[in-house]
Amino acid sequence: MRIKDVVTLKEVVSDLNDGKAFYDQKETGEQGGQKMLPFDKCPVCGGEMVEKDVEKLLRGGKHTAVLSVRAEVCLHCGERLYSKKIISRFEQIRSKLMHQELADFQPIGQSFQVPGEYSNTQC
């Protein structure tokens, strides 16, 4: 896969604002018994890419969801590459959060906003 085939998440879901890229899973394959990753090197810094499970936070309105997904992760800069299927799932989850359709989600605790008096500028 060529770098020009990469579309940033910002282009697909601009309001997620995390600038991560995705790849089409059909582009991956098997070679010599090992799964081939779509990128040999990170499209951002040229670092080595590895496939691993990552934790992703998605926000929608006042709500936040935490999910574990597979991604290619750069060992140098931490850039994450997601499949189109996973990006689509992010969009579905975010929409449910925005519309307060929370029946499919399991509560795991509470979230709190820290007052400005504790911000980094005042430390």
pLDDT, residue 10, reads: 38
Per the domain annotation, does 123 fall within a domain? Answer: no
Token digits for 61? 């309105």
Q: Is the pLDDT of residue 24 over 60?
A: no
**How large is the average pLDDT for residues 61-65?**
92
Q: What is the pTM of this model?
A: 0.64
Output b/e per residue, 65-91; b: 16+ Cβ within 10 A.
beeebebbbbeeeebbbbbeebbebbe
Collapsing DSSP to helix, strand or coil, 102 comes out as coil
Does residue 119 sit within a domain? no
Whether residue 21 lies inside any domain: the answer is yes
Give the residue among 104, 38, 50 at the shortest CA–CA distance from 76.
Answer: 50
Q: Which residue has the higher pLDDT, 73 or 20?
A: 73
Q: Domain span at residue 59?
A: 3-112
- Per-residue pLDDT, averaged over 69-82, amounts to 95
Q: How confident is the model at residue 119 (pLDDT cuts 50, 70, 90)?
A: low
Q: How many domains does the chain have?
A: 1
